[in-house]
Amino acid sequence: MTKDTFYVTTPIYYPNDKLHIGHTYTTTAADTVVKFKELQGYETELITGSDEHGQKLQKTAEEHGMEPLGYIDGIVKTFKELWSTLEVDYTEFVRTTSQEHKKDVQHIFKKIYDKGDIYKDKYEGYYCTPCETYWAERELDEEGNCPDCNRPVEWVEEESYFFKMSEYEEQLLEFLDDNPDFIQPAKRRNEMINFIEEGLEDLCVSRTSFDWGIPVPIDGDHVIYVWFDALISYLTGIGFRRDEDKFGSYWPADVHIVGKDILRFHTIIWPAILMAADMELPKQVFGHGFLTVEGGKMSKSKGNVVDPTKLVNDFGVDAVRYYLMREVAFGTDGSYSTESFIRRINSDLANDLGNLLNRTVAMVEQYFDGVIPEPRSETEYDADLKKTSQQELAAMADDMENLQFSTALEHLWTVIRRTNKYIDQTTPWILAKDEDKQDKLGTVLYNLLEALRITAIALKPFLPEAPAKIWQQIGIKADLDQQRWSEVEEWGLLEAGLEVNPGDPIFPRIDAEEYFAKQAEAEDDEKEETEEMVEEDKITFDDFTKLDLRVAEVLEAERIEGSDKLLKLQVALGEERRQLVAGIAKHYEADELIGKKVLMVANLEPATIFGTESNGMVLAASDDEGELTLTTVDQDIASGSQVE
């Protein structure tokens, strides 16, 4: 018997920066779908990971004076911490530098090469390193920059292997025609079809001007283009070529969830690669919109990057995940602001949901000594509450099928608001005063708790913490994790006779004014601290004497291959010889350094930079314009002399 499985992927992230709230949008959405499918009884897989090769990474690591892998390891750790903070339960974290992945990529490359769909030629054209994308001249923006990120592109001329993507044009169009739901949302589908119809060019799938990548299996001088490499992580993550059973039950993926910026890679390049490799295509690719801040792109230079970890620390993981899935329709762009965040949390979570729970549990405590009553005698409002709940929850499930998280939550909130209205309609505090209305009162409280039971289960894919708190306060003994969607669909499953456990409000109201005042205060404190630190940033004479500063004579100098910044120097310190790596290649030719006497720190811990051992550091002065000059001595003096 085949299992009901569901496989969702989120992109694998470039490990060259801290992830901001926009990045976490994709992964939170993917995790929510997977948890919803689990609730419906599916066996699921969710993969994410890190996209660790390419020119951009090699450069960034170099700028940090580190080996690529050492640099990446640190960042991967922060990624994993972030997913754990957001309670994202991925099943596999694929690192593209892993041995399995490298072999998978080489396998697919070789398969397509053997088939005759990869050939060697010369690439001449533009390349955007930050986006790792090739561009034709006609595609550049008005200033001749990358049309995606508007940063300058590089002119690249190099020998490359090409994938015959142009030959898949017709097959792709046919596929899109036969599978109208493949690209979501629909408006993006038309964009992609237009792109293909304009004519596909063969894709350059290898690079030779740097070496941080997976070697081309048939030619060690080339590394595989980073996107060809990265997309295959969707196969590696579910045991491609290693675990046939698993792979067979999860591939083709049910949905790749990605941002709109990388839709072309997923809906044109990826399907063409899979077609060439004679593999099945994923069932769907969903390209969601971008989260902006006050309508603008988040960027470090604008200083408007929203840190998801800070948000979770300030407001809790439930609030952050709820906001992300509720505020913006999945598929369209949306703007983040802390004001709208607080407003949303206060109105939906604190008022509508939190108060409902509080009032209900308090009334059970007050009128029935905390014991859940039997529903004995109907009120005129019961049927409508039940009907609304069942209709809205069915609509919620439909929306989840289409990844419409926001409207799915809206349906659930219609149930919550209807339940609040039910309290106002049935006025339990008035029923409580009438001896003859105790059965009715019991029914009202039972129904309120029942609506909360259903809400807790339906909310589980969205909120990692609150459902268990609701469950605990209602006093249900059954394991919440064992509940399935069928238990949401059926009204009346709550067991009477159990005891409620009144607790603290699950979503205390956020005082926006107080929050912003505290933030401003914290910012002021931080500023003061930095100012104090700057003042205290003096070292003692003892500290200074720990430095072994010496005059060094440069004996040999050469460029380090693959780096445009680094030079390898051999220097003399008197009789002693040392090898150093210096980041001065943009300012000095190797030859002009020979014979120069420069100052260096001689007792720095040895380091390996770009595969080259460095024992010490030469000193140079640089200004804000990026000009740099080496520090030398005023008059000739023997190498090895101490600088005091």
For tokens 């380090």, name the residue. Answer: 560
Q: Is 128 in the site for ligand MSP (CB under 6 A)?
A: no
Min dist CB 286 to ligand MSP, Å, is 10
Q: Is 13 in the site for ligand MSP (CB under 6 A)?
A: yes
Closer CB to ligand MSP, 147 or 259, in the complex: 259
Torsion over CA of 473, 474, 479 and 482, rounded to 10 degrees? -120
Stretch of 36-44, 176-184, 229-237, 475-483 contacting ligand MSP, by CB under 6 A: 229-237
Closer CB to ligand MSP, 13 or 123, in the complex: 13
Contact present, 448 and 356 (Cβ < 8 Å): yes
Contact present, 591 and 573 (Cβ < 8 Å): no
Min dist CB 27 to ligand MSP, Å, is 8
The 3-state secondary structure of 262-294, one letter per residue: HHHHHHHHHHHHHHHCCCCCCCCEEEECCEEEC
Q: Is 96 in the site for ligand MSP (CB under 6 A)?
A: no
Closer CB to ligand MSP, 306 or 628, in the complex: 306
Closer CB to ligand MSP, 132 or 348, in the complex: 132
Angle at 563 between CA 558 and CA 566, to 5 degrees: 50
Contact present, 581 and 614 (Cβ < 8 Å): yes
Min dist CB 508 to ligand MSP, Å, is 29
Min dist CB 113 to ligand MSP, Å, is 21
Q: How many CB atoms lie within 10 A of CB 524?
A: 10
146 marked as part of a ligand binding site: yes
Query: Of residues 26, 129, 184, 206, which one binds ligand MSP by CB under 6 A?
Result: 26
Stretch of 256-264, 317-325, 599-607, 622-630 contacting ligand MSP, by CB under 6 A: 256-264
Q: Is 298 in the site for ligand MSP (CB under 6 A)?
A: yes
Q: Please provide the DSSP assignment of 230-250 as one string.
A: HHTHHHHTTTTTT-HHHHHHH
Nearest alpha carbon to residue 94 among 86, 110, 83, 108:
83
CB-neighbour burial class of residue 274 (10 A; exposed 0-12, middle 13-18, buried 19+): buried
Q: Is 269 in the site for ligand MSP (CB under 6 A)?
A: no
Q: Is 11 in the site for ligand MSP (CB under 6 A)?
A: yes
Instruction: Locate 236 and state its tokens.
Output: 């590696």
Q: Is 259 in the site for ligand MSP (CB under 6 A)?
A: yes
Residue 185 per-residue DSSP state? S
Task: Using CB positions, name the residue nearest to ligand MSP.
Answer: 259
Run of H or E including 556: strand 549-559
Stretch of 18-26, 302-310, 590-598, 607-615 contacting ligand MSP, by CB under 6 A: 18-26
Q: Is 368 in the site for ligand MSP (CB under 6 A)?
A: no
Stretch of 257-265, 368-376, 565-573, 591-599 contacting ligand MSP, by CB under 6 A: 257-265
Closer CB to ligand MSP, 40 or 267, in the complex: 267
204 marked as part of a ligand binding site: no
Q: Is 23 in the site for ligand MSP (CB under 6 A)?
A: yes
Stretch of 183-191, 244-252, 259-267, 578-586 contacting ligand MSP, by CB under 6 A: 259-267
Closer CB to ligand MSP, 270 or 462, in the complex: 270
Angle between helices 355-368 and 466-474 (to 10 degrees): 10
Closer CB to ligand MSP, 296 or 503, in the complex: 296
Q: Is 25 in the site for ligand MSP (CB under 6 A)?
A: yes
Spatial distance between the Cα atoms of 194 and 203, rounded to a whole number of angstroms: 18
Q: Is 228 in the site for ligand MSP (CB under 6 A)?
A: no
Query: Of residues 89, 92, 158, 261, which one binds ligand MSP by CB under 6 A?
Result: 261
Closer CB to ligand MSP, 23 or 565, in the complex: 23
Closer CB to ligand MSP, 29 or 357, in the complex: 29
Q: Is 262 in the site for ligand MSP (CB under 6 A)?
A: yes
Spatial distance between the Cα atoms of 562 and 154, rounded to a whole number of angstroms: 16
Stretch of 97-105, 253-261, 275-283, 368-376 contacting ligand MSP, by CB under 6 A: 253-261
Closer CB to ligand MSP, 271 or 373, in the complex: 271
Angle between helices 405-426 and 355-368 (to 10 degrees): 30
For tokens 């974290």, name the residue. Answer: 93
Query: Of residues 47, 112, 276, 291, which one binds ligand MSP by CB under 6 A?
Result: 291
Spatial distance between the Cα atoms of 168 and 191, rounded to a whole number of angstroms: 18
Closer CB to ligand MSP, 10 or 160, in the complex: 10
Query: Of residues 31, 38, 51, 392, which one binds ligand MSP by CB under 6 A?
Result: 51
How many of the chain's residues bind ligand MSP (CB under 6 A)?
Answer: 19
Beta strand 334-336 pairing with 291-293: parallel
Min dist CB 267 to ligand MSP, Å, is 12
Run of H or E including 555: strand 549-559
- List of residues 6+ apart from 419 with CB closer than 8 A: 356, 385, 389, 447, 448, 451, 452
Spatial distance between the Cα atoms of 142 and 440, rounded to a whole number of angstroms: 71
Closer CB to ligand MSP, 105 or 298, in the complex: 298
Q: Is 263 in the site for ligand MSP (CB under 6 A)?
A: no
The 3-state secondary structure of 7-49, one letter per residue: EEEEEEECCCCCCCHHHHHHHHHHHHHHHHHHHCCCEEEEEEE
Cross-strand partners of 618: 600
Min dist CB 290 to ligand MSP, Å, is 4
CB-neighbour burial class of residue 361 (10 A; exposed 0-12, middle 13-18, buried 19+): buried
131 marked as part of a ligand binding site: yes
Known binding residues are 128, 131, 146, 149
Known binding residues for Zn(2+) are 128, 131, 146, 149
Q: Could you list the residues that contact ligand MSP (CB under 6 A)?
A: 11-14, 22-23, 25-26, 51, 230-231, 233, 258-259, 261-262, 290-291, 298
